Structures are given as C-alpha cells and as structure tokens.
Amino acid sequence: MMFFRKKQSASAPGSAAADDSGTEKPISDDLDENINTVKNEIGSTDLIINYSQINTPKPIRFACVYISNMISNQILSDYSTELGKILISEQCHKVKAPTGLFSLLSNQFAGFRRVSQGSGLGKLIEVLLSGELIFLIDGHDEFLSIDAYSPDGRAVAEPSTQSVVRGPKEGFTESLGINIALIRKRLRDKALKAESLIVGTRTKTKVALMYISDIAKPEIVDELRRRIGAIKIDGVLESGYIEEMIKDNRYSIFPTFLNTEKPDTATACLLEGKVAILVDGTPFVLTAPTLFAEFFQASEDYYHQFHIATLVRLFRYTAFVFSMFIPAIYITLANFHQEMVPTPLLINIVAQHEGTPFPTTVEVLLMQAIFEILREGGIRTPRVVGSAIAIVGALVLGQAAVDAGIISDIIVIIVAITTISNFAIPNYAMGNAARLVRFTMIFIVSALGFMGLLMGAIALLVELCRLKSVGVPYMAPFAPKAKTALKDTFIRFPLWKNMTRPEGISADTSPRVGGEDIVTDTQKEQPEFR
C-alpha cells in the first residue's frame, strides 16, 4: 500500500457539472479525469485529495476527497483508522476489480456512519461542499460519499435574547443537527417528523421542517413546504431570510412568524400543532402559524403559578399600548386638548415649557431619536461596555438637555416610560413593530390631534385583523372568536383547564390535559393524620 497527500491550489472554477443540454453529467471511470474535474469545479485551497492504492494482482488506485475545514480532526482520525483496517483486512486482499473495492468500502463504512453513492458530477460537487468524504476509484464510474460533516461551532449555552428566572437554560445553536436533537430530547414521539430541504442556489443552506404528524394540519405543512420550496435566492444566511420570503403579508410591520432560541418554546409550539422551521447556521427557530397573543407569552409563564403569570401578561399588554401611544397621547393633550389635563399638572407643564425653544412634537421626536441612537449604540458596542453606554448616555444626555433648556422634564419622563415599556415586550420583533407605530402616531397626532389618534388606533386594529399567518387569522382567538382558546391569552388559565389545542391550527381535537380532580381523588384514599 502507498499513501501520499496532495493539496490543491486555487484555480479558476469550471462548469463541467452539466452538459450543453443542461442535464447532469456523469462522472468518468478514470480517476485522474474525475480529480481534475473536481479541481476545476471547486478550485479552493481547502480542497484535500488523499491518494491510496491497494497492491492486489492488479493494483487499484483510489482517492479520498474532502473540504478540510468542514470536518473535525477527530472524525478524520477515526476514518483513517477504519480505512487502515479495511486495507489490511483479508477481504481487501481478495479484491480483484474496482467494483469489488467499491462494494467493500461501502459495506465496511455503512456500520460506521451514513453512506450513500451516486454517479452524477453535480451531485458529487454538492455532497462534497456539504462536508462529506468522497471516495473515487479508478476504473469505476460511481462515487461513495460518507457523512462526516462536523465543523467547529458554538456549544449549547443559555439563550442571549430570552433569559428566564425559572426554566430550562439550554438554547439553540448554529448547528442544525444539534437543534433537531434538542427538540427530540424533549419530544420523544414517533409522530415527530423532520423533513430536510435545501434553499439557496449558492449557499445550499439546509432547512428542516419539524412537526407532529397526527397533530399538525396537513394543509399547513404542505403550504409551508410549498412556500419554502418556491424560494429563489442565491443565499440564505439566517432564518430571517425565510421569514421575509414566505410571510403572508410581506409589507406588514408586524411579525407573523415567532422566532425563538429556546428548545422548550419550540417544543410547546409543536405540541399545539404548529410547524417549526430550523435553518442551518442560526440559533433562531421559526414557528408557524403564529397568533398575535403569542408574542406576549413567554415559556416562563407555564413554569410559575397561573396567578402571577396572568398578572405579568396584563403588564405586557399594558406596556405594548404604552410603547405605541404614550408620546402621541401627550402631544394630543399638550397641543390640542389642554382642558382634559388637571389644572395643577397643566400649570407645571406650561411652566416647564416656558424656557424651551422647540414645540412639543419636536421635543418628543428629538428625545425619541436620542434614545433610539443610544439603544442601537449599546447593542453594537462590545457587551462589556454596551449597557453602560446606554444607561449612562441616557442619564447624562437627558439631564444635560433639561439643564440646558433644550427640552422639558416631562418629555424625559414620557420618553423614558415609553422606552422601558418597549423593553417589557417579550418578543424583540413585536417590540420593533411597536417602535414604528409609535413614530407614525407622533406624526399623525401632530397634524390631526385627537381625531388622528382615533384614526390611527382604528387603522392599527384593521391592520391586525386583516393579517394572516400561513392562512390562519392573526388575531384569533379574538377575531374570529374562539372561547376555548381565550383561556391562554390575556389570562393564563390553570393547566388543567386548558383541555384543547388552538382552534384552526391543530388537527387533533382530543383533550390534551387530564386529571383535573387529581388532588380530590387522591384525598379520598389518603388516611387522615392527626
């Protein structure tokens, strides 16, 4: 046996994967020709080619081809050890033809990891770029591919955007395989299905659809599969690409897909009959269909008593309204309806405005812009100093602006309440929608006063009611009304009261919770202690 290694230097890529008719070109039975074709097609410095030869009565040459940075050193070591065992085995010495060596490698590696084979040049390039080991044998017109994809990545850690006081601390990672495993660890059901799709003509990004076959509606699964399959784009780098391409109302500012970093949240959505969309390379998993009320729910709501969860939810809805309307309401009262403000408060507001050079609307917009810039600056700067910049910057600039007579004290209070309320919204995408609505309402009420406030609120409700998420009404169970589903919206009913899954989403109408009288039935059988 002889082993040597050759690394390919960069060269101009060719176009030999397809012939003139556009059909996939088959590989040749000449090893050197196939290797030269792969070099011309990929032409990259991380393309590794290992040549080997078995000295049977008629020597047979073969090559192992892979992309170095997509396979871990441990896996390469394991494969090298296994290949060495194969080449010195008794079966290898009995091989008399390239076909026999191909069958031997295929059978031996089949018990080691997933093995497949093919004969098309385009398929060879695709699996090679997907991180698989390729075996090419001189005199044989098929290739053998072995799953070895294991790039270095981030380990499972606590989610950075969805922290909880009580509940699982695990978060999704950038590895699609790990993310699927995190869901399967929590949902050990044979009905849980995972379908693999490829999106992106150049990135060839792996996308997985996960659902519970006997709970999810087949028409929703089929529609999501159709939409994702119809995406024509050169690259998908994050699940946000998928969300923007397949959402029902593409120009709406409101999110119609829930994104989460928490496996327990994704699992809970699957149990309700929803579909999870996992994208390789991002820790954010999409779930659909998604209702408006879900953006104000957190996984932690179900780990605490329902009393406190209900109270917190009401605060979240209140914060959402404050975030959108507090500046607009203040401008309306200060500019158009001073008679609605209590006299002592009105006197204080007027006194504060006496030394400021700008109208109320300009003051509000100026402070809102400053707070938004500070918020963005805190996000983009290193984590160690980011929070300090946002807090210190807001305090220093706000106080300095008041002392300089540029804005009044009440404006700082209004803007601070608005910003803090925005942070209380559990979902970042819904918080962004509230920010856009806030600025829109400021401009409307500045021109139309209370009438503009009323018109803006009505337009907002109409927009929410017309939205759909994969064909499901966005405002359900409010519009259309569903009494059973209302038990998990503003008020979080006890778990033993939530007997059914969401109407219109789940295909399974059987009760999902039982044992309402567990304590009562148990007490009947327990002895009384004195």
Q: What is the pLDDT of residue 441?
A: 95
Q: Which residue has the higher pLDDT, 14 or 439?
A: 439
Mean pLDDT, residues 450-455 taken together: 94
Q: Which residue has the higher pLDDT, 422 or 400?
A: 422
Give the H/E segment covering residue 198: strand 192-199
Tell me the pLDDT band of 286, cut-offs 50, 70 and 90.
very high
Q: What is the pLDDT of residue 277?
A: 96
User: Residue 123's closest CA among 105, 102, 141, 138?
Assistant: 141
Mean pLDDT, residues 12-20 taken together: 50
114-144: b (≥16 Cβ within 10 Å) or e: ebeebebbbbbbbbbbbbbbbbbbbbbebbb
Q: What is the pLDDT of residue 5?
A: 43
Check pLDDT > 90 for residue 416.
no
Q: What is the pLDDT of residue 385?
A: 59
Q: What is the pTM of this model?
A: 0.82
List the 143-147 sheet strands across, edge first: 2-7, 47-54, 60-67, 132-137, 143-147, 115-118
Q: Are 119 and 143 in contact (CB under 8 A)?
A: yes
Type of residue at 499: M
Q: What is the pLDDT of residue 43?
A: 75
Q: Residue 504 region, left (φ>0) first, then alpha (ψ -120 to 50), else beta?
A: left
Q: Are 495 and 513 in contact (CB under 8 A)?
A: yes
User: Residue 361's closest CA among 414, 282, 286?
Assistant: 414
Share of the chain above pLDDT 90, in %: 35
Up-side HSE of residue 161: CA atoms within 13 Å toward CB?
16
Mean pLDDT, residues 227-250 taken together: 93
pLDDT tens digit sequence for 190-210: 899 999 999 998 888 999 999
- Neighbouring C-beta atoms of residue 506, cutoff 10 Å: 21
Tell me the pLDDT band of 3, cut-offs 50, 70 and 90.
very low
Mean pLDDT, residues 160-170 taken together: 85
Q: Which residue has the higher pLDDT, 12 or 357?
A: 357
Q: Which residue has the higher pLDDT, 77 or 530?
A: 77
Check pLDDT > 80 for residue 400.
no
Check pLDDT > 80 for residue 241.
yes
Of the ranges 34-48, 247-261, 415-429, which one carries the lowest mean pLDDT score?
34-48
Torsions phi, psi of 414, nearest 5? -60, -50
Of the ranges 157-161, 246-250, 412-416, which one carries the lowest mean pLDDT score?
157-161
Q: Which residue has the higher pLDDT, 504 or 48?
A: 48
Tell me the pLDDT band of 322, cut-offs 50, 70 and 90.
very high
Mean pLDDT, residues 283-312 taken together: 91
Type of residue at 303: Y
Dihedral (CA of 140, 142, 147, 148) sign? positive
Provide the mean pLDDT of the chain: 84
**Rounded to whole angstroms, how far apart are CA atoms 415 and 327?**
7
Q: What is the pLDDT of residue 519?
A: 61
pLDDT tens digit sequence for 325-367: 999 999 999 888 888 888 888 888 788 777 778 888 998 998 8
**Rounded to whole angstroms, how far apart are CA atoms 250 and 241?**
12
Of the ranges 89-103, 132-146, 363-377, which one carries the lowest mean pLDDT score?
89-103
Q: What is the pLDDT of residue 217?
A: 92
Collapse the DSSP code of 18 into the 3-class scheme (helix H, G, I; strand E, B; otherwise coil) and give the result: strand
**Rounded to whole angstroms, how far apart are CA atoms 151 and 72?**
6
Q: What is the pLDDT of residue 383?
A: 64
**Rounded to whole angstroms, how far apart are CA atoms 121 and 18?**
8
User: Residue 109's closest CA among 148, 69, 136, 141?
Assistant: 148
Q: Which residue has the higher pLDDT, 300 or 502?
A: 300
Of the ranges 5-9, 306-310, 492-496, which one carries the lowest mean pLDDT score?
5-9
Torsions phi, psi of 485, nearest 5? -75, -15
Of the ranges 113-122, 226-235, 301-310, 443-452, which one carries the lowest mean pLDDT score?
113-122
Tell me the pLDDT band of 13, cut-offs 50, 70 and 90.
very low
Type of residue at 112: F
Tell me the pLDDT band of 79, cut-offs 50, 70 and 90.
confident
Q: What is the pLDDT of residue 8?
A: 42
